[in-house]
Amino acid sequence: MLRSRFGKLAINVLAGAMLMTAAACGGGGGDTADAGGDTGGQGSGLKVGLAFDVGGRGDKSFNDSAYAGLERAQKELGAEIKDLSPAGDGSNRGELLRQLADAGFNPIIGVGFAYAEDVEAIAKEYPDIEFAIVDSASSGPNVTGLLFAEEQGSYLAGVAAALKSEAGHIGFVGGVESDLIKKFEAGYVAGAKATKPDIKIDVTYLTPDGDFTGFRAPDKGKTAAEKMYQDGADIVYHAAGDSGLGVFQAAAAAGEGKWAIGVDSDQAQTVAEADLQKIIMTSMLKRVDVAVFEYIKSFQGGAKGGQDITYDLKLDGVGLATTGGHIEDIQSQLDEAKQKIVSGEITVPAKP
Protein backbone atom coordinates (compact mmCIF):
# COMPACT_ATOMS: atom_id res chain seq x y z
CA MET A 1 0.00 0.00 0.00
CA LEU A 2 -0.13 1.84 0.73
CA ARG A 3 2.71 4.37 2.83
CA SER A 4 4.83 7.51 3.57
CA ARG A 5 6.30 10.95 4.04
CA PHE A 6 4.75 13.80 2.17
CA GLY A 7 7.47 16.39 2.15
CA LYS A 8 6.43 19.07 -0.25
CA LEU A 9 2.86 17.97 -0.81
CA ALA A 10 2.03 20.18 -3.77
CA ILE A 11 -1.64 19.44 -4.26
CA ASN A 12 -2.48 20.61 -7.71
CA VAL A 13 -5.95 19.57 -8.81
CA LEU A 14 -5.79 21.76 -11.92
CA ALA A 15 -2.59 20.05 -12.99
CA GLY A 16 -4.31 16.74 -12.29
CA ALA A 17 -7.17 17.59 -14.56
CA MET A 18 -4.77 18.71 -17.27
CA LEU A 19 -2.77 15.52 -16.95
CA MET A 20 -5.86 13.40 -17.33
CA THR A 21 -7.06 15.21 -20.44
CA ALA A 22 -3.79 16.09 -22.16
CA ALA A 23 -3.05 12.90 -24.01
CA ALA A 24 -3.04 13.46 -21.55
CA CYS A 25 -1.21 0.24 0.51
CA GLY A 26 0.15 -9.28 -0.27
CA GLY A 27 1.67 -12.01 -2.10
CA GLY A 28 5.33 -12.49 -1.86
CA GLY A 29 7.46 -10.92 -4.53
CA GLY A 30 10.73 -12.09 -5.94
CA ASP A 31 14.10 -10.64 -5.06
CA THR A 32 15.49 -9.72 -8.46
CA ALA A 33 14.63 -8.81 -11.99
CA ASP A 34 13.64 -12.41 -12.53
CA ALA A 35 10.47 -11.60 -10.61
CA GLY A 36 9.32 -9.27 -13.36
CA GLY A 37 7.88 -9.98 -16.71
CA ASP A 38 8.72 -8.54 -20.13
CA THR A 39 5.57 -8.26 -22.18
CA GLY A 40 5.77 -7.20 -25.77
CA GLY A 41 3.93 -4.08 -26.87
CA GLN A 42 2.29 -3.44 -30.21
CA GLY A 43 4.98 -1.44 -31.93
CA SER A 44 4.30 1.93 -30.29
CA GLY A 45 7.89 2.28 -29.13
CA LEU A 46 6.64 2.97 -25.60
CA LYS A 47 8.59 1.00 -22.98
CA VAL A 48 7.30 1.33 -19.43
CA GLY A 49 9.06 -0.06 -16.36
CA LEU A 50 7.43 -0.43 -12.95
CA ALA A 51 9.07 -1.36 -9.65
CA PHE A 52 6.68 -2.67 -7.00
CA ASP A 53 6.55 -1.92 -3.31
CA VAL A 54 7.37 -4.65 -0.78
CA GLY A 55 4.98 -7.56 -1.30
CA GLY A 56 5.15 -7.35 -5.08
CA ARG A 57 2.56 -8.38 -7.59
CA GLY A 58 -0.16 -10.54 -6.09
CA ASP A 59 -0.83 -8.54 -2.92
CA LYS A 60 -4.49 -8.14 -3.99
CA SER A 61 -4.25 -4.50 -2.97
CA PHE A 62 -1.80 -1.61 -3.57
CA ASN A 63 0.69 -3.29 -5.93
CA ASP A 64 -1.95 -5.12 -7.92
CA SER A 65 -3.81 -1.87 -8.47
CA ALA A 66 -0.63 -0.34 -9.92
CA TYR A 67 -0.15 -3.38 -12.17
CA ALA A 68 -3.72 -3.02 -13.47
CA GLY A 69 -2.80 0.45 -14.71
CA LEU A 70 0.36 -0.93 -16.32
CA GLU A 71 -1.58 -3.68 -18.08
CA ARG A 72 -4.07 -1.14 -19.34
CA ALA A 73 -1.22 0.84 -20.88
CA GLN A 74 -0.05 -2.31 -22.62
CA LYS A 75 -3.50 -3.01 -24.05
CA GLU A 76 -4.62 0.51 -24.91
CA LEU A 77 -1.37 2.32 -25.66
CA GLY A 78 0.66 -0.52 -27.15
CA ALA A 79 3.30 -0.28 -24.44
CA GLU A 80 6.01 -2.82 -23.84
CA ILE A 81 5.99 -3.35 -20.07
CA LYS A 82 8.23 -4.81 -17.41
CA ASP A 83 7.60 -5.09 -13.68
CA LEU A 84 10.08 -5.91 -10.92
CA SER A 85 9.56 -6.80 -7.25
CA PRO A 86 12.02 -5.88 -4.49
CA ALA A 87 13.60 -8.15 -1.95
CA GLY A 88 11.56 -8.83 1.17
CA ASP A 89 13.28 -6.04 3.05
CA GLY A 90 13.17 -3.66 0.08
CA SER A 91 16.92 -3.20 0.18
CA ASN A 92 17.37 -3.40 -3.61
CA ARG A 93 14.86 -0.78 -4.71
CA GLY A 94 17.56 1.40 -6.28
CA GLU A 95 19.01 -1.57 -8.12
CA LEU A 96 15.61 -2.29 -9.71
CA LEU A 97 15.27 1.27 -10.95
CA ARG A 98 18.76 1.15 -12.47
CA GLN A 99 18.02 -2.17 -14.17
CA LEU A 100 14.97 -0.67 -15.83
CA ALA A 101 16.83 2.49 -16.84
CA ASP A 102 19.77 0.56 -18.28
CA ALA A 103 17.35 -1.64 -20.24
CA GLY A 104 15.92 1.43 -21.96
CA PHE A 105 12.59 1.72 -20.19
CA ASN A 106 11.14 5.21 -20.16
CA PRO A 107 9.12 6.15 -18.17
CA ILE A 108 9.84 4.27 -14.95
CA ILE A 109 7.41 4.16 -12.04
CA GLY A 110 8.26 3.43 -8.40
CA VAL A 111 5.27 2.16 -6.43
CA GLY A 112 5.32 3.48 -2.88
CA PHE A 113 6.86 6.28 -0.84
CA ALA A 114 9.80 4.08 0.14
CA TYR A 115 11.22 4.70 -3.35
CA ALA A 116 11.53 8.43 -2.66
CA GLU A 117 15.28 8.63 -2.00
CA ASP A 118 16.17 6.16 -4.74
CA VAL A 119 14.01 7.90 -7.33
CA GLU A 120 15.50 11.27 -6.42
CA ALA A 121 19.06 9.97 -6.78
CA ILE A 122 18.59 7.85 -9.89
CA ALA A 123 16.54 10.47 -11.72
CA LYS A 124 19.61 12.72 -11.48
CA GLU A 125 21.79 9.97 -12.94
CA TYR A 126 19.39 9.50 -15.88
CA PRO A 127 18.16 13.02 -16.70
CA ASP A 128 16.76 11.92 -20.07
CA ILE A 129 14.44 9.37 -18.48
CA GLU A 130 11.13 10.34 -16.88
CA PHE A 131 10.25 8.87 -13.49
CA ALA A 132 7.05 8.79 -11.43
CA ILE A 133 6.59 7.82 -7.82
CA VAL A 134 3.35 6.78 -6.16
CA ASP A 135 2.69 8.35 -2.75
CA SER A 136 5.57 10.81 -2.73
CA ALA A 137 6.14 14.29 -4.10
CA SER A 138 8.24 15.23 -7.13
CA SER A 139 11.95 15.57 -6.36
CA GLY A 140 13.27 16.78 -9.71
CA PRO A 141 12.45 18.09 -13.18
CA ASN A 142 12.07 14.57 -14.55
CA VAL A 143 10.02 13.22 -11.62
CA THR A 144 6.22 13.26 -11.28
CA GLY A 145 4.60 12.68 -7.90
CA LEU A 146 1.39 10.63 -8.02
CA LEU A 147 -0.47 11.48 -4.83
CA PHE A 148 -3.90 10.66 -3.42
CA ALA A 149 -6.38 12.25 -1.05
CA GLU A 150 -6.61 9.10 1.08
CA GLU A 151 -8.21 11.09 3.86
CA GLN A 152 -11.18 11.96 1.63
CA GLY A 153 -11.94 8.37 0.70
CA SER A 154 -11.38 7.31 4.30
CA TYR A 155 -13.85 9.97 5.44
CA LEU A 156 -16.52 8.22 3.38
CA ALA A 157 -15.46 4.90 4.93
CA GLY A 158 -15.92 6.46 8.36
CA VAL A 159 -19.37 7.74 7.44
CA ALA A 160 -20.33 4.27 6.22
CA ALA A 161 -18.97 2.59 9.34
CA ALA A 162 -20.80 4.96 11.67
CA LEU A 163 -24.08 4.54 9.81
CA LYS A 164 -23.84 0.75 9.66
CA SER A 165 -22.46 0.08 13.14
CA GLU A 166 -25.06 -1.31 15.50
CA ALA A 167 -22.66 -1.29 18.44
CA GLY A 168 -21.59 2.34 18.09
CA HIS A 169 -18.04 1.00 18.28
CA ILE A 170 -15.64 0.63 15.34
CA GLY A 171 -11.91 0.16 14.76
CA PHE A 172 -8.96 1.06 12.55
CA VAL A 173 -5.84 -1.06 11.94
CA GLY A 174 -2.88 0.69 10.33
CA GLY A 175 0.05 -1.27 8.95
CA VAL A 176 2.84 1.19 9.73
CA GLU A 177 2.54 4.31 11.87
CA SER A 178 3.67 6.64 9.08
CA ASP A 179 2.36 10.01 7.99
CA LEU A 180 0.66 8.41 5.01
CA ILE A 181 -1.26 5.79 6.97
CA LYS A 182 -2.24 8.43 9.51
CA LYS A 183 -4.09 10.14 6.66
CA PHE A 184 -6.34 7.08 6.42
CA GLU A 185 -6.92 7.15 10.17
CA ALA A 186 -7.60 10.90 10.23
CA GLY A 187 -10.22 10.76 7.49
CA TYR A 188 -11.91 7.66 8.90
CA VAL A 189 -12.19 9.08 12.40
CA ALA A 190 -13.40 12.46 11.09
CA GLY A 191 -16.12 10.86 8.95
CA ALA A 192 -17.31 8.61 11.75
CA LYS A 193 -17.36 11.40 14.34
CA ALA A 194 -19.16 13.79 12.01
CA THR A 195 -21.84 11.15 11.50
CA LYS A 196 -22.11 9.88 15.07
CA PRO A 197 -20.25 12.15 17.54
CA ASP A 198 -20.36 9.68 20.43
CA ILE A 199 -19.06 6.68 18.46
CA LYS A 200 -16.14 4.77 20.00
CA ILE A 201 -13.13 4.21 17.73
CA ASP A 202 -10.21 1.89 18.50
CA VAL A 203 -6.94 2.58 16.67
CA THR A 204 -3.96 0.23 16.44
CA TYR A 205 -0.76 0.29 14.36
CA LEU A 206 1.12 -2.94 13.74
CA THR A 207 4.64 -1.48 13.51
CA PRO A 208 6.27 1.90 14.11
CA ASP A 209 7.26 4.28 11.34
CA GLY A 210 10.17 2.89 9.33
CA ASP A 211 9.36 -0.78 10.01
CA PHE A 212 7.53 -1.82 6.86
CA THR A 213 6.91 -5.39 8.04
CA GLY A 214 3.56 -4.09 9.26
CA PHE A 215 2.34 -4.25 5.68
CA ARG A 216 3.03 -7.98 5.37
CA ALA A 217 2.11 -9.49 8.73
CA PRO A 218 -1.40 -11.02 8.49
CA ASP A 219 -0.91 -12.66 11.90
CA LYS A 220 -0.44 -9.26 13.54
CA GLY A 221 -3.40 -7.85 11.64
CA LYS A 222 -5.56 -10.73 12.85
CA THR A 223 -4.48 -10.33 16.46
CA ALA A 224 -5.16 -6.58 16.42
CA ALA A 225 -8.61 -6.98 14.88
CA GLU A 226 -9.53 -9.88 17.14
CA LYS A 227 -9.04 -7.67 20.17
CA MET A 228 -11.21 -4.94 18.68
CA TYR A 229 -14.04 -7.36 17.95
CA GLN A 230 -13.71 -8.90 21.40
CA ASP A 231 -13.86 -5.44 22.95
CA GLY A 232 -17.14 -4.70 21.19
CA ALA A 233 -16.30 -3.19 17.80
CA ASP A 234 -18.45 -4.51 14.96
CA ILE A 235 -16.65 -2.88 12.00
CA VAL A 236 -12.87 -2.61 11.48
CA TYR A 237 -11.20 -0.68 8.65
CA HIS A 238 -7.64 -1.59 7.70
CA ALA A 239 -4.93 0.30 5.85
CA ALA A 240 -2.35 -2.40 6.26
CA GLY A 241 -1.50 -3.99 2.92
CA ASP A 242 -1.11 -7.76 3.13
CA SER A 243 -1.82 -7.62 6.86
CA GLY A 244 -5.42 -6.78 6.03
CA LEU A 245 -5.98 -10.46 5.27
CA GLY A 246 -5.68 -11.08 8.99
CA VAL A 247 -8.30 -8.42 9.69
CA PHE A 248 -10.69 -10.19 7.32
CA GLN A 249 -9.97 -13.53 8.98
CA ALA A 250 -10.70 -12.04 12.39
CA ALA A 251 -14.00 -10.59 11.17
CA ALA A 252 -15.08 -13.92 9.70
CA ALA A 253 -14.18 -15.75 12.90
CA ALA A 254 -15.93 -13.18 15.12
CA GLY A 255 -19.31 -14.25 13.82
CA GLU A 256 -22.52 -12.66 12.63
CA GLY A 257 -22.75 -8.90 12.63
CA LYS A 258 -19.02 -8.31 12.31
CA TRP A 259 -17.69 -6.48 9.28
CA ALA A 260 -14.39 -5.35 7.80
CA ILE A 261 -13.56 -2.54 5.39
CA GLY A 262 -10.85 -3.14 2.82
CA VAL A 263 -8.47 -0.69 1.19
CA ASP A 264 -6.86 0.29 -2.13
CA SER A 265 -8.63 -2.29 -4.32
CA ASP A 266 -12.16 -3.68 -4.19
CA GLN A 267 -11.05 -6.43 -1.84
CA ALA A 268 -14.37 -8.26 -1.89
CA GLN A 269 -13.39 -9.10 -5.46
CA THR A 270 -9.69 -9.77 -4.90
CA VAL A 271 -9.70 -12.09 -1.89
CA ALA A 272 -10.15 -15.70 -2.90
CA GLU A 273 -11.96 -17.08 0.14
CA ALA A 274 -15.76 -16.89 -0.02
CA ASP A 275 -16.11 -16.60 3.75
CA LEU A 276 -13.89 -13.51 3.68
CA GLN A 277 -15.59 -11.93 0.69
CA LYS A 278 -18.93 -11.82 2.44
CA ILE A 279 -17.69 -9.95 5.55
CA ILE A 280 -16.12 -7.08 3.55
CA MET A 281 -18.73 -4.34 3.86
CA THR A 282 -16.92 -2.06 1.39
CA SER A 283 -13.38 -1.04 0.45
CA MET A 284 -11.83 2.41 0.26
CA LEU A 285 -10.66 2.55 -3.33
CA LYS A 286 -7.36 4.23 -3.99
CA ARG A 287 -7.18 4.29 -7.76
CA VAL A 288 -3.48 3.69 -8.25
CA ASP A 289 -4.44 2.01 -11.53
CA VAL A 290 -5.94 5.27 -12.80
CA ALA A 291 -2.91 7.31 -11.72
CA VAL A 292 -0.44 4.90 -13.34
CA PHE A 293 -2.34 4.69 -16.62
CA GLU A 294 -2.99 8.44 -16.87
CA TYR A 295 0.67 9.17 -16.14
CA ILE A 296 1.81 6.81 -18.90
CA LYS A 297 -0.74 8.27 -21.29
CA SER A 298 0.42 11.81 -20.51
CA PHE A 299 4.06 10.79 -21.03
CA GLN A 300 3.16 9.40 -24.43
CA GLY A 301 1.55 12.75 -25.18
CA GLY A 302 4.72 14.65 -24.30
CA ALA A 303 4.15 15.63 -20.66
CA LYS A 304 7.22 16.15 -18.47
CA GLY A 305 7.89 15.83 -14.76
CA GLY A 306 8.54 18.35 -12.04
CA GLN A 307 4.97 18.36 -10.77
CA ASP A 308 2.67 16.57 -8.36
CA ILE A 309 -0.78 15.28 -9.27
CA THR A 310 -3.27 14.60 -6.50
CA TYR A 311 -6.08 12.16 -7.24
CA ASP A 312 -8.97 13.11 -4.96
CA LEU A 313 -12.75 12.66 -4.89
CA LYS A 314 -13.16 15.29 -7.58
CA LEU A 315 -10.96 13.27 -9.95
CA ASP A 316 -12.41 9.94 -8.77
CA GLY A 317 -9.00 9.02 -7.42
CA VAL A 318 -10.56 7.67 -4.22
CA GLY A 319 -14.00 6.33 -3.31
CA LEU A 320 -15.92 3.37 -1.96
CA ALA A 321 -16.57 -0.03 -3.54
CA THR A 322 -20.17 -1.25 -3.76
CA THR A 323 -19.62 -4.98 -4.27
CA GLY A 324 -22.13 -7.04 -2.32
CA GLY A 325 -24.65 -4.21 -2.02
CA HIS A 326 -23.90 -3.78 1.69
CA ILE A 327 -23.92 0.03 1.57
CA GLU A 328 -26.78 0.51 -0.90
CA ASP A 329 -29.13 1.59 1.88
CA ILE A 330 -26.87 4.49 2.89
CA GLN A 331 -25.76 5.57 -0.58
CA SER A 332 -27.65 8.86 -0.44
CA GLN A 333 -25.82 9.88 2.77
CA LEU A 334 -22.50 8.90 1.23
CA ASP A 335 -23.24 10.88 -1.93
CA GLU A 336 -24.13 13.91 0.19
CA ALA A 337 -20.86 13.67 2.12
CA LYS A 338 -18.90 13.32 -1.11
CA GLN A 339 -20.49 16.41 -2.64
CA LYS A 340 -19.76 18.46 0.46
CA ILE A 341 -16.10 17.46 0.26
CA VAL A 342 -15.88 18.20 -3.47
CA SER A 343 -17.56 21.59 -3.02
CA GLY A 344 -15.27 22.50 -0.15
CA GLU A 345 -18.03 22.63 2.45
CA ILE A 346 -16.20 19.86 4.29
CA THR A 347 -12.42 19.97 4.66
CA VAL A 348 -11.11 16.59 5.68
CA PRO A 349 -8.12 16.56 8.05
CA ALA A 350 -4.98 14.78 6.86
CA LYS A 351 -3.60 14.29 10.37
CA PRO A 352 -5.24 12.61 13.39
Give me the pLDDT at residue 42, please.
52
Give me the pLDDT at residue 325, please.
97
Written in H, E and C, the secondary structure of the chain is CCCCCCCCCCCCHHHHHHHHHCCCCCCCCCCCHHHCCEECCCCCCCEEEEECCCCCCCCCCHHHHHHHHHHHHHHHHCCEEEEECCCCCCCCHHHHHHHHHHCCCECEEEECHHHHHHHHHHHHHCCCCCEEEECCCCCCCCEEEEEECHHHHHHHHHHHHHHHCCCCEEEEEEEEECHHHHHHHHHHHHHHHHHCCCCEEEEEEEEECCCHHHHCCHHHHHHHHHHHHHCCCCEEEEECHHHHHHHHHHHHHHCCCCEEEEEECCHHHHCCCHHHHCCEEEEEEECHHHHHHHHHHHHHCCCCCCEEEEECCCCCCEEECCHHHCCHHHHHHHHHHHHHHHHCCCCCCCCC
Q: What is the pLDDT along the chain (352 residues), one digit of tens a residue?
A: 433 333 333 333 333 333 333 333 433 333 333 345 555 555 579 999 999 988 788 777 788 889 999 999 999 999 999 999 998 888 899 999 999 999 999 999 999 999 999 999 999 999 999 999 999 999 999 999 999 999 999 999 999 999 999 999 999 999 999 999 999 999 999 999 999 999 999 999 999 998 989 998 999 999 999 999 999 999 999 999 889 999 999 999 999 999 999 999 899 998 989 999 999 999 999 999 999 999 999 999 999 999 999 999 999 999 999 999 999 999 999 999 999 999 999 999 999 9
Give me the pLDDT at residue 19, please.
35
Give me the pLDDT at residue 22, please.
31
Q: Which domains does the chain possess?
A: 13-149+288-311 (3.40.50.2300), 150-286+319-343 (3.40.50.2300)
Give me the pLDDT at residue 54, please.
81
